[in-house]
Amino acid sequence: MGPSKPPDEAFFGFVERPFSLTPDPKYYFRSRSHSRAFDALSAGIARRESLLLVTGDLGVGKTTLCRTFMALPERKTRAALVGNSLLSPEDLLRLLLQDLGAIAKNEVLHGRLVGAPRVELQQMLDEFLMRLRSSKDGAVLIIDEAHSLPASTVDQIVQLAALQSNGEKVLQIVLAGQPSVTGGPALPRALDERLATRAKLLPFERDECGHYVHHRLTIAGGAGVTFSPRAMDVIYGLSGGVARLVNLLGERALQEAATLGSRKVEPGMIESAASALQLLRLRPKRFRWFGVQAR
């Protein structure tokens, strides 16, 4: 027997958690902002641009966008995703060589890359890119959390973009990160000056927030639960349309609804969820907008 489902999953008949925070391309929701960013990056990849950037505040879906790009069935180029932006230059090169298939799997298993100096790793990658160029092939490197890149790894990325073998943009690099406090990309000038495509992810608008919740419930198999319009107003007011906060509120509200035996999520359940998540520091002021009684 497998593990039993949580009470809310069992009560509503979900096949999986609809509001999990784990980035999953299956749940990718193309809001207007996401559609613009997705299309801009797709066009930049098609034009063989060497360096592309997508920015967005914490929780708006940058990682899910990156993973969705990786999972595209029509993607023809090789791709590697860096989820840990604190990698050293050597670790970045090792990941590239391994994930792009530059060396055979049995060589990886036998530790060929372990302990190899940076200059050797760089030479191996350069030779691999030369082979790709000869075969009219390409590769894409996607780096999430790019605003946290160490200076030495930034230098390595600049070198990758300037490789002689990359003259025909064989290796394309997509950076995803948070904007700086001034609103621009939180990237060193050496990278910023090379950017060809810039896209920005924004929080959901009110109508998109409702569509997003319905989208996730449907995929998770939750046909027997609804969020009332007023409940969605409260979710939007508290989250500002930030997907991560919507997920947190949605998951906790479903637990509240299951406990009460209700298949309809109402504003009071969102308030209880927000209180448990400590999102109600400004509760009296914010909830007056929606007519919800503060307790």
**If DSSP states are collapsed to H, E and C, what string results for the chain?**
CCCCCCHHHHHHCCCCCCCCCCCCHHHCCCCHHHHHHHHHHHHHHHCCCCEEEEECCCCCCHHHHHHHHHHCCCCCCEEEEECCCCCCHHHHHHHHHHHCCCCCHHHHHCCCCCCCCHHHHHHHHHHHHHHHHHCCCCEEEEECCHHHCCHHHHHHHHHHHCCHHHCCCCEEEEEEECECCCCCECCCHHHHCCCCEEEECCCCCHHHHHHHHHHHHHHCCCCCCEECHHHHHHHHHHHCCCHHHHHHHHHHHHHHHHHHCCCEECHHHHHHHHHHCCCCCCHHHHHHHHCCCCC
Residue 103: band (very low, low, confident or very high) from pLDDT cuts 50, 70, 90: confident
pLDDT per position as a tens digit, 18-75? 999 999 999 999 999 999 999 999 999 988 888 999 999 999 999 999 999 888 876 6
Same fold flag, 32-200 and 204-290: no
Spans of all domains in the chain: 32-200, 204-290
For the segment 277-284, the average pLDDT, to the nearest whole number, is 63
Global pTM exceeds 0.75: yes
Q: How many CB atoms lie within 10 A of CB 72?
A: 12
pLDDT per position as a tens digit, 71-94? 887 667 889 999 887 889 999 999
For the segment 111-121, the average pLDDT, to the nearest whole number, is 85
Q: What dihedral angle (degrees, nearest 10) is formed by the CA atoms of 213, 248, 61, 190?
A: 160
CA distance 62 to 54: 8
pLDDT per position as a tens digit, 132-158? 888 888 899 999 988 888 889 988 998
pLDDT per position as a tens digit, 213-258? 999 999 998 768 999 999 999 999 999 999 999 999 999 999 999 9
For the segment 199-209, the average pLDDT, to the nearest whole number, is 96
Architecture of the domain made up of 204-290: Orthogonal Bundle (1.10)
For the segment 252-279, the average pLDDT, to the nearest whole number, is 92
Checking if the pLDDT of 274 tops 90, the result is: yes
For the segment 159-188, the average pLDDT, to the nearest whole number, is 73
The CATH number that domain 32-200 falls under is: 3.40.50.300
Q: What dihedral angle (degrees, nearest 10) is formed by the CA atoms of 64, 67, 68, 73?
A: -170
